[in-house]
Structure 1
Amino acid sequence: MKIFATKRAGTPVRSAFQLSPVAAGCVVFLSALAGSVYAQETTGTTNTEAAAVPVADQATATEPMATGVSTVKVTGIRQGIEAAISIKKNSSSIVEAISAEDIGKLPDQSVAESISRLPGVSAQRGRSSGKAAEISVRGLSPSFNGTLLNGREMASTGNARSPEFDLFPAELMGSIVIYKTPDASVVGQGLASTIDLRTVQPLDFSKRVVAVNYKKTRLGVKQRDGLPEGDGKRFSLSYIDQFANRTIGVAVGLTSYEETGGAQSKFNSWGGWVADIPYPTAANPAGTAKAPGGFGFDTEVNSHERDGAFASLQFRPNRNFKSTVDLFYSAGETGLKKTGLEGAVGGNSAGTYDPNGILTNAVINNGVATSGTITNWVGVVRNHYEGAEDDLKTVGWNNELKVGDWTTAADLTWSKATKQASRYETYAGIPGNAAKDTISFSGFNGANFTDVRYTPGMNYADRSVARLTDVMGWSGGTSSPQAGYLAMPYVEDEVKAVRLSAKRDVEWGPIVATTYGFNHTARDKSRVGDEGRLLIKGGDPYGAAAMPGTETAMAGGSGIMVASWDPRGSLGTVYELAGKVDADIYNKYWDVKERISTGYFKADVEGQLFGLDYRGNVGVQAIHTEQTGGGYAVDRARCVGNTTVSCPAQRVTETDKYWDVLPSMNLSFDLKNDQVLRFGLAKVVSRANLDDLRAGQNFALSTTGPFQILNGSGGNPQLKPFRAKQLDLSYEKYFGKKGYVSVAGFYKKLDTYIYRAPRAFDFAPYLTPTTPLPVGGPFAGSTMGLMTQPMNGDGGNIYGYELAVNVPFELITKYLDGFGIAVNHSDTRSGIDLPEIGFENVNGDMVSIPLPGLSRKVTNLRLYYEKNGFQVAAAARKRSNFLGQVSDYQDNAQLTFIKGETIVDLQASYEFQTGWLKGASLYVQAQNWNNAPFLEYTSDPENPTNRVDYGRTYHFGVNYKF
């Protein structure tokens, strides 16, 4: 049965083209410019020698590329810096840029690491891998960024709209440009920024170029717990050539790498729970003592494999026509093997088969059991495996034709991403009907969870002790045994887009060119899958099986050895799968369809105002969105089991339509002496994560509060984007193309934002005759209740400043030729508090949380030396405490506080300057040299509740270009 819903009656509809304050501001400025005496001379020109890619204004997917031919100079770090400065300096918007130091090589190992060194940009390390994974710009979470490939939107394999950055091998990127202020001709922009990843274009090069790179890696070096190291290897090839009198260009890039990470020590304190456990004494028969609530020690080993490729074919028979086909492919496999031990220490039982513990032999200090022994203890040996296979395919075809005074362009995009994941959880220990163990602890002071030492009474490395079984009875015990769990989610996302544009030079006062365009994007994304309890074959609820193999491993930094095995392939041999569907699982099955049409107009302007030459652009986008969310509605009163019969669900869909009108203006004033003052004013949006738009929901009668009421949770297909007005101001002083100093400030006024909270909701369309309704109280017999779902709030602001210095020391004195520094600092503040929803490690004593992704202070430093073939660089990036996002054990996104960190990276290389080895270079790199851990906390940063140690990573490589 399909249930369709439209916009609720009585909701005020705002006119699509109502004049907003930003639009009014743009009109006023444009009027002022029109009345001024404008200059006919362009204040900035493209430096085609500095960069191997066109400047930012000329590199969107539908606008003409530069017709000049680039000359590639192999000058390493300084070449990359100068090319990036050229992009920044010549852009009419406020941008940051990174250009490849050399063909097939970026300054860092990944796209995310390179981006994180730019002003106002920070990276969150992946909890499992330790690598830079998610990018925050100006204090906003990663979902606020728009990510493009050669100016085009792409499919993704996660819940977010943009693909994960680890899908893009650094070797395949020619440059990266971050738009901090919007450009009306750029489609798919974000509220925080728009990140455009650019591959090289072959006709921008003057000759054939071939580059080969090979690298060996050591991971997890110098781990604090002395765990085993990992290794890896990486290969890349880039080939660029031109044929038929430079009318045909070909660029091909290939990369392949595989890594097995070093063993990582992880600790979890079960949210920092302190238990008050009975401890009677002669002086106090009713006495209690505080003891750790529980612990989880894990050793994790990551594995990564990825193959990537891109190809670009260009055909330019004359100056009036150019056709470009871009192909990008990335396919990878990731794995995470967890081996550990967990269990409750004090307090109540943690499962059906876990009796309450009894504290004995304790040493009490100020009411805290600093040491003691717990009887009736149940420990769980965990051997989990989380893996995924993903691929991303993107095809873009761009045609540019000049007809008379018009330059027209047609661009087609197709992008598809898929991800098949699997998550095995297996439990081993004492069967539920057998005698229990004891555990002793020491070194506890009431808060230092990471320092407590534990000693179990039994040897969990002995396979006769650690049996595969339903240890805890977490699913209900004998009526629903669970010796493990298996989930196999599948995500598919497809994006199709067509874009048409036309540009013409004009002489309309200060307007020197106009661009008209239209883009239509169709996106379809879904998440499905199978999951359920793993049962020991044979049907005995207390059934136990011997753990295959003979391996053992240390459980994190506990010093406790446990039995270890790889559970893949065990379904059908050791386990049976009890297929499972319930309200929570149905909530994970969803599909979303989007149809977005964007019409835009942009005017390039030049002239004089207040005696200052200026250039820039003024434009507007009109965006119509139609979104349809699908999912399942589950009445928990009828969900009495975990099959499709015992837990029936309704298929539901819901559609909404709306308009957004986004004016924008960017002006750059020439202050002479290589000084530029930039001003930006715009209205911007960021769309919700796709899973937030699902229509699924589940509900039940709540009887735990002060009164009975229907209560549910789910997605919201009527969710509108984050919307904001923003003001930007930037002063930049350039030293030719060698360096610059900049000071920037910004302010974003949020009109709407998205948060999760309960709201009044009528459940009548989803009720059945058997659904219980409230009895008594203010909602007696009512179908009205509370639905917790993503919602649009209003009000709030984000503001901050950014400082950047990027200069070679030769500007100071010739004796320091070859030395240089790049340093930047940002300070960002937010005036928004969101209700506490969806935390992984908060005990419920928090009323509000800051804006996710916001580090108030972020600092990046890079010192380098480069001369006579030698390159040496040291870099550090530091960010203050912030609210990050991680995935929990059910694949749900959760918010968690992450302690600020400083990460130091080093690199050195030598390039042969003469002889038969000319063009070859050797290099070594060290990441996380200072061994910075990943720390999560609940309320006190000095008392972390989750710790991950990654160790250092070393890279040794050779690069050859000819």
Structure 2
Amino acid sequence: MVPVLPSRAPRALTLALRRLPVAQACALLMLGASGAHAQSAAPPESAASAPRPGANPGTNPGANPGTKPNEAKRDSDAALETVVVTGIRRSVEDSIAVKRNASSIVEAVSSEDIGKLPDVTVAESLGRVSGVATQRDKVSGKASGVSVRGMSPSFNGSLLNGREQASTSDARSPEFDLFPAELTSSLLVYKTPDPSLVGQGLASTIDLRTIRPLDYAKRSVAISGRKERIGVGSGTEAGDGHRAGLVYVDQFSDRRIGLALGLSSLREDNGGELKFDNWGGYAPKVDYQGQQVTVPGGFLAETSKRKTERDGAFVTLQFKPNADFKTTADLFWSRGNETTKKTGIEGAIAFGTGPYDPNGALTNATIVDGVANAGTISNYKADVRNHVYGSKDRLLSLGLNSELRTGDWRWEGDIAHSRGVKDISNYETTAGQPGNTPESQLGSISWTGFNGNNFGDVKYTPSLNYADRNVAVLTDVAGWGGGVNSPQAGYVALPRITDQVDSLRFVAHHDAGWGPIAGTRFGANFTKRDKARTGQEGRLYILGGDGYASVPVPGSETGIAGPTGIPVVSFDPTGTLGSIYGINRWVDSTVLARDWSVREKVATVFAMADLAGDLGPLPYTGNVGFQVVNTRQRSTGNQVDLANCTGITVETCPYVERSEGDNYTRFLPSMNLTLDLGSQQLLRFGAGKQLARPNLDNMKASLDFQVQNATSVSPALTGFAGNPKLKPYEAWALDLSYEKYFGRHGYISTAVFYKKLENYVINAPRGFDFAPFVSANTPLPTTGPFKDSTVGFLTQPMNGQGGNMKGVEVSVNLPLNMLSSWLDGFGTSLNYSYTDSSVRLPTSGFVTPQNGPVFKDSVPEIGLPGLSKRVATVRLYYEKNGWQLAWAAHRRSDFIGQILDYRSDSQFTFIKSETIVDMQLGYEFQTGWLKGLSVLLQGHNMTNAPFQEYTTDPNVVTNKVKYGKTYRLGLNYKF
């Protein structure tokens, strides 16, 4: 693209800034306190090139060595004509340029225009990349988790402008929905290790980038707005929402100062989502007329209504007084509030689930092949659920970055701070018949259409009207607290997650070459991370009464229990603590084990040589080097004194805080080599050692145990603990990639990769003597081979052997006018990957008192979480004369996903394969007084694909959530 002269700031402002000594003093101060490793954004006004890791922000990495593009513009004597490429073609061409010019194997997604990433969320945009699959959040239905090459999201290194970030979840990586797409300029996915890339992951390193204002040729302002219709076709009422964004980019003082800022705001009301859970396919046998027949075991059906708010902002200030010095300051801020109200019904059908829930008898049954296709069971006690789950999160990221050139040396430094906080509030209430209701007054439940497997298709009809406030009252329905002396009319949990990451980095570049070495760099990075989870929880009870107490449900609102259509009473329990409910706070080993903190101090030293030369007749480029990483970790956790514990209060169950840690050093060599085969063909090779630190909640210094029936020789004392001495995951990686380019407009590539997982973290039970932690008051097994024994089983994260991973990736990104001029304006992007792994993990390692996976007791071992063997993306688009049309389909096969349970604890589940289809139609006015205005219509999940879980058989769905389709109508205006 031909450069243009920059627009000039107003003369008075320009002169004022030139004369302002404070600006220069600030720049020198920033240099003394900082330095840079932040990645430079793809230049928005020219074909982008991928910067090497460690490239300083604001530099055009595609420029010739020694050329300063902004200075060249200042020295131009006349404006040159600009040919501007925008929209889908610009995003495609910039992404291709990044991939082609990178020294490592990378994938990229670039914005279609300022403040306009191709998708609504960052995670959706990453889903375009070869070898990348997204997981939808079970609550919202939006893409949030990102798996690369068949590994779970926790194996990715996640950066913002080249810096590690705090997260607001139990995991290390930040949740991608915290980063509004309107405020993101480009995304880079590094698939091979690089010696100068700090914060790398085992699967990939994902770098999100915001705008660098001095990369722009002139002032730019973009305003966007969207109106949304959410949950269309979900089976319940549709919701709505709106989002707005503003991005401003400008240059002052003869382009010595650059300023970019962005604002984003989102408000959504999803209307409703229908959920049906058949309790893992539970289908017991009961006696009927002298034979055993299969009946439905129970179900949960509910309607979820969710409201979401998200605001974000970024500010970037650059100062470049001359060709040898520049500094960049970044600020990114995001805050979100989400509230989900769930209204539904849950209950066992044949057998009771608590002391107040008696077993029932089957009558009026129609039996087909041993299955009660229809029937009625007595003594049905339904729990009407009115639950409210809320969360508030905040993320702040600050960075200061400077570079000074002295001869052949460039000196960089970076100082950064990131802090995330998330407050979660879970309120659950139950309504129904009190625990002392006589069996003669209990209702029944009937069903039709059951064949033994099709739980979600069955028609259920209870005999009682649970929308009647005389029938369904707030009370302890089933006696889940244990009985009249420990009522549980609800539950409340208030966890808080805090995370803070501080880093300091220094890098020295020597740009002079010697033989095959084109340049060298040396650096050191120091990072300190403090993360903690704290909170309280307990049972709710009705104020002023005994264990059977009840009060009417407030208000007159009713709702529908998910796809069953059963009407139920509905109310919002917010504010009822203290007026209707009291709380018996739980202080026992299980609850206290959830509180933990972890501190990490990581020092990384690296050295790298850039390579350039000829291998016979073939030119090559690349890099080779190493990192030495030293980690010091220490964690705390609560250890209950079970030798003296007689209750669930602080007075009756004392505890102490344990603290333990470890340190280790790892040597990580790596190499990347690119051979130019001619005719725009590249052959890339990458090899290196990689590591990923375990999730921080696995490192907690806590231990709790109790008698459980979770072992094959049950009952036995069974305990769960973290491991403060846990070492990282480690792997050797090999990559080979072939790429064929067609100018700057398209490419075809294929890649194969192999990872040898040497050190994998495995949760597995082992024999353990709990004698130091028990007393005469501690319950011991009363039957079986472990009767009265303190020897049992402790499940704890341990470092063990891993296994192999291998895969193949194929990508095609082409404009179709290469085939025929009749197809001018059309283009396609096709990605396919196949990944397999020999790693097998014991299911028992994922079972804790808080969160047993849904396949517990059904599957003895599982493969890698996050691994879909097959992932494919197809995208077709048309762009010409201002018109834009795009259609995309994303497909991933079955996989093991990580979700949050009702206590906001992570658990694993089998998720059924899914295909998500999106569409986009837009028009941009290119002439006249409307020039710069574009209209956009988007459709997401056009096939209304549901989120589906299963236990062993993918054809037997145990949990199903329908999110419906989402439509967005938007306007963008750039000037």
Counterpart contact for 1:882–1:899, Cα < 8 Å: yes
Report the residue type matching 2:50 in the other structure. Answer: V
The alpha-carbon distance between structure 1 residues 637 and 293, as it changes in their structure 2 partners (threshold 3 A), is farther
User: Is residue 2:573 matched to residue 1:567?
Assistant: yes
SS in 2 for 1:267: strand
Establish whether residue 751 from structure 1 lines up as the match of residue 758 from structure 2. yes
CA contact (8 A) 1:51 1:99 kept: no
Does residue 800 in structure 1 map to residue 807 in structure 2? yes
CA distance in 2, matches of 1:473, 1:449: 26
For 1:456 and 1:702, locate their aligned partners in 2 and report how far apart those are by CA, in whole Å: 34
Q: Secondary structure at the match of 2:158?
A: strand
Deviation at 1:580, TM superposition (A): 1.5
Q: 1:232 maps to what in 2?
A: 241
Distance 1:866 1:880, change over 3 A: same
Matches within 5 A, 1:96-245: 96-223=107-234, 225=235, 227-245=236-254
Which amino acid letter does the alignment assign opposite residue 52 of structure 2?
Answer: D
Q: Select the residue among 243, 261, 279 that pairs with 1:270.
A: 279
Q: Secondary structure at the match of 1:844?
A: coil
Alignment of 1:709-748 (within 5 A): 710-748=717-755
The answer for the alignment partner of 2:463 in structure 1 is 457
In structure 2, the CA distance between the partners of 1:656 and 1:767, relative to structure 1 (3 Å rule), is farther
CA deviation after TM superposition for structure 1 residue 636, in Å: 4.7
How far apart are residue 634 of structure 1 and its match?
A: 2.5
Q: Distance in 2 between matches of 1:117 and 1:46?
A: 19
Aligned pairs, how many? Answer: 910
Which residue matches 2:21? none
1:517-559 superposed Cα distances (whole Å, 9 cap, x missing partner): 0001000011111211111111321111111122111111001
User: Are residues 1:68 and 2:62 paired?
Assistant: no
- The DSSP-based 3-state class of the residue aligned with 1:56 is coil
TM-superposition CA deviations, 1:704-763 (whole Å, max 9, x none): 874886531111111111100010000000111101000000000000111211124454
1:636-785 pair list within 5 angstroms: 636=642, 638-700=644-706, 706=713, 710-761=717-768, 763=770, 766=773, 785=792
Matched with 2:857 is 844
Give the aligned partner of residue 905 of structure 1.
918
Q: Secondary structure at the match of 2:697?
A: helix
Cα distance in 1 for residues equivalent to 2:348 and 2:279: 9
Q: What amino acid is aligned across from residue 360 of structure 1 in structure 2?
A: T
Instruction: Please give the alpha-carbon distance, in whole angstroms, between the structure 1 residues aligned to 2:348 and 2:394.
Output: 40
Residue 627 to residue 64, structure 1, CA distance change in 2 (3 Å): farther
Query: Aligned to 1:462, what secondary structure does the other structure show?
Result: coil
C-alpha spacing 1:52/1:398, structure 2 compared with 1 (3 Å): farther
- CA shift, 1:699, in A, is 2.3
Q: Say whether residues 1:405 and 2:416 are aligned partners.
A: no
Q: What do the CA deviations read for 1:340-374 (whole angstroms, capped 9, x no partner)?
A: 0110012x311111001111111112211111111
1:355 aligns with: 358
Name the amino acid aligned to 1:445: N
Kindly indicate whether the alpha-carbon contact (under 8 Å) linking 1:822 and 1:863 is maintained by their aligned counterparts in 2: yes
Q: Identity percentage over the alignment?
A: 52
1:907-962, CA deviations, whole angstroms, 9 ceiling, x for partnerless residues?
00000011110000001000000111111001111110000111100000000000
Instruction: Give the Å deviation of 1:581.
Output: 1.4
Determine the C-alpha separation between the residues in 2 that align with 1:690 and 1:707: 31
Matched AA of 1:139: G
Q: Does the aligned pair in 2 maintain the 1:220–1:263 contact within 8 Å?
A: yes
Query: What's the offset of the Cα at 1:701?
Result: 6.0
- Determine if the alignment matches structure 1 residue 813 to structure 2 residue 820: yes
Q: Is the 8 A contact 1:53 1:204 kept in 2?
A: no
**Alpha-carbon deviations, 1:32-66, whole Å to 9, x = none?**
xxxxxxxxxxxxx9995765866232664689664
Query: What is the TM-score of this pair, normalised by structure 2?
Result: 0.91
What residue is the counterpart of 1:825 in the other structure? 832
Give, in whole Å, the separation in 2 of the partners of 1:656 and 1:513: 37
**Rounded Cα–Cα distance in structure 2 between residues aligned with 1:550 and 1:51:** 62
Distance 1:823 1:705 in 2: 48
Deviates more, 1:368-377 or 1:572-581: 572-581
Which letter does structure 1 place at the counterpart of 2:91? G
Match of 2:99 in 1: 88
Partner of 1:880: 893
Aligned to 2:13: none
CA RMSD of aligned residues (A): 2.1
- Partner of residue 426, structure 2: 423
Q: Is the 8 A contact 1:230 1:261 kept in 2?
A: yes
Is 1:525 aligned with 2:526?
no
Structure 2, gaps ≥5 residues long = 1-39, 62-67, 74-81, 847-851
What is the alpha-carbon distance in structure 1 between the residues aligned to residue 490 and residue 792 of structure 2? 36
Check the 8 A contact 2:57/2:212 in 1, yes or no: no
Please name the residue that 2:626 is paired with.
Answer: 620
Asked if the contact 2:338/2:392 (under 8 Å) is kept, the reply is yes
Q: Give the Å deviation of 1:235.
A: 0.6
Mapped to 2, the partners of 1:117 and 1:733 lie a distance apart of 19
1:940 paired residue number: 953
1:55 to 29, 50, 60: 50
Cα 1:781/1:367, change in 2 over 3 Å: closer
Contact residue 62 and residue 499 of structure 1 kept, 8 A: no
Question: Using the alignment, how far apart are the partners of 1:187 and 1:865 within structure 2?
Answer: 39
Gaps of 5+ in 1: 1-44
Change (3 A) 1:579 1:205: same
- Asked if the contact 1:626–1:656 (Cα under 8 Å) also holds between the matched residues in 2, the reply is yes
| TM-score, length-scaled by structure 1 | 0.92
Tell whether the 8 Å contact from 1:184 to 1:621 is kept in structure 2 after alignment: yes
Equivalent residue for 1:306? 310
Structure 1 residue 411: Cα displacement: 0.3
1:246 to 255, 261, 267: 255
* 1:10 alignment partner in structure 2: none
Cα gap change, 1:441/1:331 in structure 2, threshold over 3 Å: closer, same or farther?
same
1:112 Cα deviation (Å)? 0.3
Determine the C-alpha separation between the residues in 2 that align with 1:609 and 1:566: 71
> 1:60 and 1:296, CA in 2 relative to 1: closer, same or farther beyond 3 A?
farther
Tell me which residue corresponds to 1:859: 872
Task: Work out the CA distance in 1 between the residues paired with 2:566 and 2:474.
Answer: 18
Deviations 1:275-329 (A, max 9, x none): 11122x2xx3xx2211011011011112110110000000010111111000000
Distance 1:481 1:112, change over 3 A: same
Q: Deviation of residue 687 (structure 1)?
A: 0.9
Structure 2: distance between partners of 1:907 and 1:705: 54
3-state DSSP of counterpart to 2:279: coil
The 2-side partners of 1:572 and 1:777 are apart by: 45
Shift in CA distance, 706/959, structure 1 to aligned 2, threshold 3 Å: closer
CA contact (8 A) 1:636 1:700 kept: no
Deviations 1:876-930 (A, max 9, x none): 0001111111111222211110110111100000000111100000010000001
Distance in 2 (CA, whole Å) between partners of 1:125 and 1:923 is: 24
Change (3 A) 1:622 1:766: farther
Alpha-carbon distance between aligned partners in 1 of 2:781 and 2:568, rounded to the nearest angstrom: 50
Q: Secondary structure at the match of 2:917?
A: strand
Cα distance 1:650–1:368, how it changes in 2: closer, same or farther (>3 A)?
same
Query: Match of 1:596?
Result: 602
Does residue 871 of the first structure (1) align with residue 884 of the second (2)? yes
Report Cα offsets for 1:604-629 as digits up to 9, x if no partner. 00111132110000010100011111
Question: What letter is aligned with 1:714?
Answer: A
Partner of 1:23: none
Cα offset for 1:776?
A: 12
Separation of aligned partners in 1, 2:225 and 2:282: 48
TM-superposed deviation, 1:424: 0.6
Aligned to 1:37: none
AA aligned to 2:519 is A
Distance 1:61 1:523, change over 3 A: farther
